[in-house]
Structures are given as C-alpha cells and as structure tokens.
Chains A and B, each alone.
Chain A
Amino acid sequence: MSETIVKVNHMTKKFGDLLVLDDVSFDVKKGEFLCIVGPTGCGKTTFLNCITKLYEPTAGEILINDKPVNLKEDNIAYIFQEYSTMSWLTVEQNVAFGLEIKKKPKDFIKQEVDEVLEMVGLTKYRDYYPSELSTSMLQRVVIARAFAVKPQLLLMDEPYGQLDVELRFRLEDELLNLWRKTGTTVIFITHNIEEAVYLSQNILVLTNKPTTIKAKLENDLPFPRNVTSPEFIDIRSKVTDLIKWW
C-alpha cells in the first residue's frame, strides 16, 4: 500500500510575470484518498490544469509511476463540477463510453459496465436517457463512467459543490464505498472543509496565490466518520484555522 503513484516535483506555473503556482511538491500513494483544500480564489484550477496537462507547468514535473504524465497511456479519470453526461446516449452507453474509446473488446466492456452499474445502483436505469434522470442519478452516472475505466487516478474537482447537503452526504458515502471496493487513488479538490475532513486520509492545505502548500495533515479517523465527534471537530478546526480568510 505504500507504493507512490503520483509524484509532483517543484511544480511552478507562471502566466507572464504572474506567479500562480510556486514550487509545489507532494506525493500520492497508491490507493490513497487525498483531499486538497485552499482558500477561495487560490490557484486550484491552475493546479488541476497542470496535473491534467491542459497547461504545461513552467517548471517542475508530474510523474505517474515514475514517468512523466502521458494522457494517452496513463489511465486518469476526471469528475468536474460541471459534470456532463452525453444527452444522446443512454446511461449504459454513457458509462461504456470511456472503455469504447480505449477500444476494449465488446464482452469485456459489457462485463465492466454491468459491474459498475450494479455498484452505483443504476442497473435498473441502464436504458434511460440522462434527461429522464434526477440530479442524484446523473451524479451516479458520472461516477460510474469514471470508475468504469478502472482509473489509476481519479481527479475530482468540487463535484458536489452545488448540491443539497443531504444529497451530498449520500453521494460522499457512496464515493467512499466505491473507493474502498476498488482501491482507486483519488485526488479530491474542494472548498468545503467539512467535506475534506469527512472523506480524506490526507489533507493538503494550499495557500492563496501564489499557491504553495501550507500544510499536509494526516487524517486517520476511522470510517465511517461522525461529523459531530470531538476528534472530527478538532481536525476541522485545525484546517479551518489554516485557511480562514473570511
């Protein structure tokens, strides 16, 4: 379990003279659930875009399994806030999409899709179109699509930011379940401190721009966690104090 899968070395990003990311280094272990939190307006989007290679970092490198990130070879899945399903495809086709792009054999796709649909409880809805589903169902389709490709790394950018709290809690629990079952490595970016403490094994706290790492906190509370327990509140306050600007 201690094998390092992602290694970020001295990642720096400048836009012209504007320094946005300043010498960021961290490791993610295989199977780890890492949450990244920072103050509003910190360079978290730039941060993410560097990892996903939308931007080329000005300096530094990102290694996956000791090799520079290669989006063609490395199996990385993303879930963003503006989660999108393809409206002209059924639930099943949506979930199979990533596997089909990777040109996997038909029966393999069928098997994988069946399995992941079962895990998120969408088997009954496999032939529905996205427009026929509720928000929570859509979220599950997006999650299923990400997990279907059995990613080495799953990047999530504030996926539950706009949801009802109740629904968020439920989806967070489902995410934790999937994570435990599949052993996927997850990097989860959020503004919500409680969410970060609820989900993560490790918390990376970012500073305001130019973004650096302020602290890395270990969070070894046992699952399932109780947001009202003193230990939980203790970690939550610690993170809040590191971030608080309001």
Chain B
Amino acid sequence: MTGRNLKGISKYKKIYAAVISIFVFLCIWQLAVMFTDVGIVMVGPIEVIKLFFVSMVKPIGHDTIQMHIVWSLSRVMTGFVIGSALGVVLGILMGWFRPMNALFRPIYEIIRPIPPIAWIPLSIVWFGIGEPSKYFIIFLAAFSAITMNAFAGVRAVDPELIGAARMLGANNRQVFTTIVLPSCVPHIFAGLQIAIGSSWATVVAAEMVRASQGVGWVIIRGQDSNSTVQIMVGIVAVGIVGFALAVLMRWIEAKLCAWNVRGR
C-alpha cells in the first residue's frame, strides 16, 4: 500500500530528485577539485564534460568517442546474443528434462563461479588477439547468468497452471510450449538484465587488456599517456552506456511482458 503510494506520487519528483542529486554531486566534485588536495589526483567535472564533447568531433586514437562506444557495443551485442540464445536453450532444457540437468549441471556449476575476465589469457591463446577472443569472453559472461535464470524460470512454473492445462486437454508438448515457455519469460528477462550488465563490464575489462579501440581502450590509453581527463571520459562513457542498456532492457521487458507485474 505504502509502496504503491510512493510510486504514484513521485514519478516526476523522482526525476527531479535524480537531476538534483547528480547536480549536487558534480558541484561538490568541482569544488573539491578546485579547493582541496583532490585536485592533485583528479580533474573536475567541467573539464571531463568538455573533453567528452570535444572527443565527439576530435578522435582519441583513430576514433571519436561515439565510435569507441559503437565498437564496444558491437562486441557486447555479438557475445551477448550468442550467449543469451544458447543460455536460454540450455537453461530451459536443464529445467524441463531431468537427465539434461544431471548431465550438464556439474560442468556448469564448476564453470559458473569463474569470472569471465579470468578467461582472457586463455581466449587469446585460443582465438588470437582479434575480435573472436572478446566475443568469447562476453559470451561466457552472458551465458552463465541467463542459463541460471532460464533454469530457475522453468523450475518456478506454477504446478497448478500445468495441472490446469492438462485438465483442459493439453498434451506434454503443449504444456511445454504454451505453459512452461511463457511462464519463464519474466525470469529470462531478469537474466538478460543481469547478463547485459556483466557483458558490458566484461567488454571494458577485455578492451583494457588487448584492443586498439573501444571504451576500455580509451581508459587504458589514458593511463598510458598520463591523461586523467581521458580516463574519466572513458569512465563516464562506460557509466552512461551501461545505464542506457539497463533502461533499454527494462523497456523491452515492459513491452513484451505487459501481463506480468515484474514488467510494470
């Protein structure tokens, strides 16, 4: 009751509050840089924002900042799409067919806790220093989150709904396609949400290790050339894009799962 109430009142107030909080944060940052020792190790937001806009026309390395973002995004999307597709299939199969679970679960459980970036050296050995090694790492990042969620989604299907469908005459295949699959869509979306976040984090890490473009490269290049401003520009780009991706995913979910409260 209280929650609904808060939500109702503050749609605009929330945006308002967000703008104010960011603005205040930037002010404090700027003042700290101007008047305290923080200025020795950091640059102020005004400078960062300035360089950000400058780099939209004047390239860092070979590309403008938006092209770096596009590079990173294209890597994320390739790995993410393949990882999600395979993750959804494997997760659902593991959830629905017990033998599949018995077979794949142990391998999966061992691979899952390994952070994707731990694979960077190996993937370079396997796939070289080009794009495929980055796709592979992002694939791993997306795959593990989605498999888990798709699996949990199948397991969480309300048995009463399955009973109701059987009672109405559905056979096994129909129960699977008309009840189990739609039921786990919200779970899969929760997984996609996590996966897009960790994919984005992973691409930045991968680019910091080996690349000649992309936002991760912008950051590491800034370090090499002792340019704190450029590092900050890279970080800001990472933050903005990460946020935009999360918002986009939520929006798609709300469109596709109008029936579900989670999607609201």
Interface residues of A (CB under 8 A from B): 45, 49, 54
Contact = CB atoms under 8 A, between A and B. Distances in A.
Interface string B1-42: 110010000000000000000000000000000000000000
A54 B3 CA distance: 12
- Dominant secondary structure at the B interface: helix
A49 B5 CA distance: 11
5 contacts: A45-B1, A49-B1, A54-B1, A54-B2, A54-B5
Contacts of B2: 54
Nearest to A45: B1
A103 to B, nearest CB: 25
Nearest to B2: A54
Contacts of A45: 1
Contacts of A49: 1
A49 B2 CA distance: 10
Nearest to A16: B8
Nearest to B9: A15
Nearest to A15: B8
A49 B1 CA distance: 10
Interface in B195-232: none
A11 B5 CA distance: 20
A54 B5 CA distance: 10
Contacts of B1: 45, 49, 54
A45 B1 CA distance: 10
B116 to A, nearest CB: 39
B220 to A, nearest CB: 49
A45 B2 CA distance: 12
B105 to A, nearest CB: 31
Nearest to A80: B1
B129 to A, nearest CB: 55
A157 to B, nearest CB: 11
A82 to B, nearest CB: 10
Contacts of B5: 54
A45 B16 CA distance: 30
A240 to B, nearest CB: 29
A45 B5 CA distance: 13
B154 to A, nearest CB: 29
B3 to A, nearest CB: 12
Nearest to A49: B1
B223 to A, nearest CB: 50
Interface string B143-185: 0000000000000000000000000000000000000000000
B2 to A, nearest CB: 7
A54 B1 CA distance: 10
B10 to A, nearest CB: 14
A4 to B, nearest CB: 29
B233 to A, nearest CB: 44
A175 to B, nearest CB: 24
A141 B114 CA distance: 49
